[in-house]
Chains A and B, each alone.
Chain A
Amino acid sequence: MRDIARKTIKGRKAGFAGAFLAVLLASVLVTALGVLVESGVRGGLPPQRYDGADVVVGGVQALPVVEDTDLPLSERVRLPAGVVDAVAAVPGVAEAAGDVAVPVSVVAGGAVADTPRPVTGHGWSSAVLTPFEVDGDGAGPERDDEVALEDDLASSLGAGVGDRVELAVGGVASEYTVTGVVTRPGGADARESAVFLTDERAGELAGAEGRWDAVGVVAADGVATDDLAGRIADAVPGVRTYTGDARGHVEFFDIGRARSELTFLALSLAGTTVLIAMFVVASTLALSIQQRRREFALLRAVGAKRGQVRRLVGAEVMLLAGTAAVLGAVPGYLVAVLLGRGFAGSGLLPADFRLAMSPLPGLAAIVLCLVTARLAGWVAARRPARLNPVEALGESAVEEPRLGTGRVIAGVVLILLGLAASGIPMLVPGTVAVAGAAGGALLLAIGVALLGPRVLGAAAGLLAAPVRRLSPVHGYLATANMRANSRRLAAAVTPIVLAVAVVSVQLFSQSTLAAAAGRQTVDGVVAGHVVTGSDGGVGAAVTDELRRELGDDATVTPVVHSQVVVRYTELGDPAQETFAAQGLDPAGLERTLDLEVRDGDLGDLRDGTVALSRNASATFGASVGETVEIVLGDGTAIEPTVVAVYGRGLGFGDLTLPHDQLAAHTTTGQDSWVLIGGADAEATGDTLARVAAAYPGLVAGTGAGLSAAGSAERSAESSTSLVALLALLAYLAVSVVNTLVMATSERTREFALLRLAGAGRRHVLAMMRVEAAVIVAVSVVVGLLVALPPLVGVSVGLTESFLPSISAAGFLGIVLTTALLGFLAIGVPARAALRLRPVDAIGLRE
């Protein structure tokens, strides 16, 4: 059988091209996503500043999750001061030095100066970890107002030993005397320029309070780094050790965040993709097998048993899928690189992020494609195996109109499940419900696909009368055709329906979310003015000064943001998830921020309490008076009592904690915004302008400007998920074209017949245009109908409104793209088929 399978594939390359392409692209896509998932775990940057450290010791930067990847913490988990000595005491350690990092701005002439690279401040003792060398007769900083500058920064500022430079953190600037210029090997490629302060000063600016971001270790001669790392981990509790490239994970904290977001994104996309790829591969295989009915009937007639036909199909599929999967894995790595660039462009990943490239994703993709193809082949082979051999005798292959009972039942069950999933948010609020609703789209789409021929027959029936009125001759032929060959058409329409539905749900749930969040921010910011910072944010000193200057007439509300992990029970199982949190001082809040309190009182917000958004409250099952288990960004666990539930969680974050408490557990301790409301607008504006001018890098703006900034951030987020979707979209588009081309080229004989019966080329093309129009119309409408219940569900869950916000541009984009793909994919092969002389074409077998 394998032998016949090989020969069949070789002999009918064209017939297998469609299925081959479907598997190949599935392999490309799965490999690419695999690379992204792996990069989320292992990718990043090799260390730069820690390059001279053999082992880097860091805090436990993640919460372990049973049977899943650990949940990363959003803020730097610092090490206690004593860890440096404890590490230094481990045998084999030649030198141990603590490091803290704080982003700084260089100030020149009262404003933030442009620097070639972002500038970060560190304590001088960490200079050995690179190692940095002091140029000439310079020296390291010894007093709190002294600094050593990295050479590129020094030369761009034109500063040398003895000069004074001004450095600001969170807008608060101080002057320092340059004591030396330092260089490092390979400094030109570094991500940032370093400035060195005394350890105490650096710690103070970083808000580290004597703790360390990390401790770098130089091993004694002849000590193996891995052994040393193990010994340190054993000797010092509560730390993690890193060697090799993994040291970069500790050095570049932003990359850690990016990695976990990448993993999350790639994994969430991978699920949908694998399902869709499986479905596309299966339906393409089914189509290509259906096109060869007569061949299988002939085999049955001359003595192939059912099992033999099944084995033949199986062998064909495995051969085809095996080759396609292997060939697809290679470009998959390229696509991963392109996607990585796209993510860098949209801001998800740092531009210098390095993807982890191992053979693993390719192998996984190949295995997955083979398993999929095996299953799909098994399903597809059941039909030809049951074929009546008599069919081989017949002149024309009339298709079997009935759908199998199993298929109908499966289709109906999937549709019901999809509707049920879409409806969950109407009964229970919360994140799971919204995710369930979005997932409902896939169930609905596949259910509709299974019932495809029925749905299509019905749609063609509905459209028949108007189409015939519009175009009597061609319309008649086209609709008659569609009804007679509903199965073939269903195969063509299914991927379009799937594409339209998946894209609509992704696009419009995104726009619904963005619109709702935007509305909430606009409505929620009552303050007339806002101060925002550059680099690390706004320092506490700014808030103090504003309060002093403005007095009691105005409310000054600093807002700090972080991400916290909440532990709760979801559907009876313990769950933990990351949520956005803000820290606020409730005093006078009515003049700056309206979170739309539904229950309880925000005024009660103080240490030991928390306010939750409606969504969070429902997700955690915690209402006013109950407690919530929260792990703050730096790993500190708290269990505050809920004092209020508010409506505007999308705009401002799902949890609201007391300001000072949350700020104490962030890396920088700085605020993202300071809201000012209540006082006379003009006078406040003047005061603000004066204060902001005194703090380099601070910007005073209006409350409305803040909302606009928020929407820009959200559009960056949605462009990130668009990049991710793009790969899936391209895959769907290709499979749409693929099936349409397959279905149309199959009809060469039919076109020849029509032409022999007196239809001109023009007539046939006109008929195909009507058919294409009907296909596009039916699939767009069905696709949108499939998308509607999940979208309504998502909308109810997120915004309490039944109306999802559907962007006109997105809608038009979907319709036009589908129309374009549909007309091209039907028109081009139809023209090609018509190029044959009808008399020759009619003689073609099959």
Chain B
Amino acid sequence: MHTMTAPAVRLDAVTKIYGSGDNRVTALREVGADLATGTFTAIMGPSGSGKSTFLQCAAGLDRPTSGSVRLGDTELSTLSDNELTVVRRDRIGFVFQAYNLLSSLSVEDNVSLPLRLAGRRIDPDWIARVAGSVGLGEHLQRRPAQLSGGQQQRVAIARALVTEPDAVFADEPTGALDTRTGRQVLELLRRVVDESGQTVVMVTHDPVAASFADRVLFLADGRITGVVDAPTAELVAERMTKLGAW
């Protein structure tokens, strides 16, 4: 289903070590991966396998201990904190499992937050369009507390899309949602890839969620242990039991 274009994100021999001495944990071991532009990739693996670490390194939230991470043709691992912040702000979108929104800001303000931080002019029409594309056109003035969990995640997706980033990263975006709303969020992510050619990378432990992706990377103990292209829920579930790690 996906086409082979230049990778939006490329990880090369990325190793991430937390702590030191006795508390030393190697979360990623020499991981390499190409995440192609305009594709939807799911990262799966047992708890503690390094999924979140992978995502954080790929998204410029954290710096690998060694190895290289490229976003388009920008090498992230050598950027200063401020440069990395600017990359995150302008070229990357995030959706976390929970706690995605500033509770005191309205939907509109939350969505436009990255633009505001960039000091860019805020075009209300554009914000309305982005919010409309996630189905929240009528709720622009609401506060997060007045929205359901699924709606909040959709606001987060709108915020991730507002800068038209090179890639959107999501860490278990449906982890806190029920099956039905989770499904709506996944469909939304799928649509973003299909209709706008966005690149989406999503961590999940749910085979059904993974089946929305174009490709699934399996992580275990900090290593990539497998790849499934054009996954279905059954295929992924079968692969999971075969890997047997969880």
Contacts and interface: CB of A to CB of B under 8 A. Distances in A.
B98 A298 contact: no
A306 B105 contact: no
B99 interface: yes
A9 B171 CA distance: 29
Contacts of A298: 96, 99-102
A9 B159 CA distance: 22
Contacts of B102: 8, 11, 295, 298-299
A393 interface: yes
B154 to A, nearest CB: 16
B118 A303 contact: yes
A303 B117 CA distance: 7
Given A390-B61, A393-B61, A303 B88 contact: yes
A393 B171 contact: yes
Contacts of A302: 88-89, 94, 113-114, 117, 159
B90 interface: yes
B29 interface: no
Nearest to B163: A303
Nearest to B144: A845
Given A389-B61, A390-B62, A845-B99, A7 B114 contact: no
B105 A7 contact: yes
Interface in B119-153: 143
Given A306-B82, A390-B56, A393-B56, A301 B105 contact: no
Interface string A831-846: 0000000000000011
A304 B171 CA distance: 20
Contacts of B85: 300, 303-306
A308 interface: yes
Contacts of A769: none
Given A302-B117, A389-B61, A11 B99 contact: no
B181 interface: no
Interface residues of B, number: 32
A392 B14 CA distance: 22
B86 interface: yes
A302 B96 CA distance: 11
B26 interface: no
Interface string A387-401: 011101101000000
B61 to A, nearest CB: 5
Contacts of A306: 81-82, 85
Contact of A301 (B94, B106, B109): B94
B82 A7 contact: no
Interface string B151-187: 0000000010000000000010000000000000000
B103 interface: yes
Contacts of B106: 7
A845 B62 contact: no
Contact of B82 (A301, A305, A388): A305
A828 interface: no
Contact of B62 (A4, A294, A388): A388
Interface of A: 3-4, 7-12, 294-295, 298-306, 308, 388-390, 392-393, 395, 845-846
15 contacts: A3-B116, A4-B109, A298-B99, A298-B101, A299-B102, A301-B61, A301-B88, A302-B89, A303-B85, A303-B88, A303-B117, A305-B85, A390-B62, A393-B97, A395-B98
Interface of B: 52, 56, 61-62, 81-82, 85-86, 88-90, 94, 96-106, 109, 113-114, 116-118, 143, 159, 171
Given A11-B104, A302-B159, A390-B56, 10 more contacts: A4-B109, A7-B105, A298-B102, A299-B113, A302-B114, A305-B82, A393-B52, A395-B98, A845-B99, A846-B103
